Chain A
């Protein structure tokens, strides 16, 4: 394989994963009863293009498998095969397999050939099975006289028809004039066609659509129906959409979008960042000069506005709709509901809510966990629901919306709600509650976020592994978000995640330590205070200091010592203590002073260098210099504190 081709690997994989998601969505629609040709066509197209792409790169296993898949889909498309739960099950399995194969291929690992062969065998079996005896449709075709001149060719139409089933054609040449008098532009032939097909009348009519305008087409669908227009197969009630003959162009909703590499967007962001710095510099120069020409002053203000708008626009370009994450849930819910013998309907809302790619990449896992939790613990089995007078089909809502500067994602179910009694029981067993303690509702809800907490009766492979809501909360907090739960017994539970739009920008507070400036994320700041002389206590032998804050002893982190900087002052009372919290622990950062706030666009230090202890990233300040962003959880950890403060 040439190096040049390898350059395209990434985009092949990216596109393939994306189109597999499209395929999966279409299959789920199919399973839900959609029989529209376009749905099947979508699936077919994905398989087909995947085969083509894989062929180009020499991924033979993928080619071989997609080839089999294509045959099945072609049979489905040609109505030689009927949709069934078994079929969609196999097809969904194929999506999983292909995903696995692509992942393995991308990683240079061997693909699971055994699994592939098994599935391939099942699929082939499906195609080989004789189709259910299909009722015959009789079609009489008397094409319009100038059919050929109008560019219609019965030959092609009959070819199309043959795809729907076995076709017997009888031609009638009675109207064919002698060769000498024959007008080649006119169709003098007529046909009587019998098609053994399960396809509904509409599908057949669709084939003849163009002929119908200038010819005579009579379709008698079904053997008994002499001139009935009823569908041939009542079980397949959805008609082929009455669109034009070319349906291939449909089903590509993002035709107006282009694919751009993230690095290109980063470049754009960087350029805009430079522009902001230049603009700031101009504003500073103007401020220092004073007595500025009025027009120049206005121009600078205009520039500032424009630059800010440009920056926001570029940020928006990075935003993706949350549907990218939501799209995996229909499948997940289907599979899990099946496994637990529950009947669940998933309702998605606010799928167009946009958020930054950085957040999007990280919220998938917490959401999966919450939805799994709802399926496992929330929604009751159908018989229980019926007994409780509820709809046997449970509903899980997944809603996204924008609130202020945040994204709110809600996972809501109409299940049993949190089981207060069991939670308390479990908490006592884990020692999270003293035996007689009767917590209020809020406290009970908080308990489920405690480390190691899980109320599942038996450990399932879905949830209840002991890693549960605490992990979810920790992940969400790491994103700078929060999670809350509300519950009503017997009515359901609602988990609300509040997340920032983006991880690319953080609101920061600049602190000064000696000649250095560091940025502390505002979300991790609790309070800044000045210690009175003697307020801190040196802990014997440790070399560390502690001070009291809201009844807790907190350790002091001397940034200058940690970072090897000469501070303006060494005495704790001559500087500032910034109380910060990270991973649920608190500590006091000792700094010289607190300076301005800024919106810091987070830059990676690792991209060109390496990870730096105590630093999570860097940002460019208004003057174009680099400022390091502090990794508060890491700094708090270095303070050696295990619990959020020892009781004073």
Chain B
């Protein structure tokens, strides 16, 4: 398991709260139409123009298998991730963003095995402000977004 981030950005997808290391978050932008990529996995909603670079956008609602719709609160969280090939940017479509929260290292619990889903994109669980937050492993997101 990767190091536990000190601060996480929390966002909602299908009523659940997720958190991601704030250090990966490049920017948050309002939802805008994306350009579809032919024959790509369904969770990849397409690519968008981020100041001249082409950035793939993953629809987290599709990824987590929940109802997807576009509301005024729908946003795209753009992550900047350091990978083997250098820095890569990827956008996540989420229902809304919530807060930036401090995270105590001992407040994170490993995820118990649930169902058959590959949970390599989840870092663990944390209880923050009375809510259970699922912490995302950013590297896991990019790995899965490729291939298939």
Residues of chain A whose beta carbon lies under 8 Å from any beta carbon of chain B: 266-267, 269-271, 273-274, 516, 562-565, 603-605, 607-610, 612-615, 618, 620, 624-628
Contacts and interface: CB of A to CB of B under 8 A. Distances in A.
B40 A612 contact: yes
Given A610-B146, A620-B52, A626-B47, A516 B36 contact: yes
B111 interface: no
Nearest to A269: B52
A518 to B, nearest CB: 9
A605 B52 contact: no
A608 B52 contact: no
B54 A624 contact: no
Interface residues of B, number: 23
Contacts of B146: 609-610
| Most chain B beta-carbon contacts within 10 A, residue among A603, A609, A618 | A609
A224 to B, nearest CB: 69
A562 B89 CA distance: 27
Given A273-B52, A274-B51, A627 B38 contact: no
B39 A270 contact: no
Interface of B: 33-40, 46-49, 51-56, 88-90, 145-146
Contacts of A269: 52
A608 B38 contact: no
15 contacts: A266-B52, A562-B38, A564-B39, A565-B38, A603-B53, A607-B88, A608-B53, A608-B90, A609-B47, A612-B38, A612-B39, A618-B35, A626-B35, A626-B47, A627-B35
Give the 10 A-B residue pairs with the shortest CB-CB distance, closest first.
A270-B52, A563-B38, A626-B35, A609-B56, A273-B52, A618-B54, A620-B49, A603-B54, A608-B88, A626-B49
B68 to A, nearest CB: 18
Contacts of B90: 608
Contacts of B89: 608
A273 B53 CA distance: 10
Given A625-B33, A626-B34, A613 B51 contact: no
A610 B146 CA distance: 7
Given A603-B53, A608-B88, 20 more contacts: A270-B53, A516-B36, A562-B38, A565-B38, A605-B37, A609-B54, A609-B56, A609-B145, A610-B146, A612-B38, A613-B38, A613-B39, A615-B38, A618-B35, A618-B47, A625-B35, A625-B49, A626-B34, A626-B46, A626-B49
Contacts of A609: 37, 47, 54, 56, 145-146
Nearest to A609: B56
Given A608-B88, A625-B35, A626-B34, A270 B51 contact: yes
A527 B137 CA distance: 50
Nearest to A605: B54
A316 to B, nearest CB: 18
A614 B38 contact: yes
A607 B54 contact: yes
Nearest to A563: B38
A133 B67 CA distance: 93
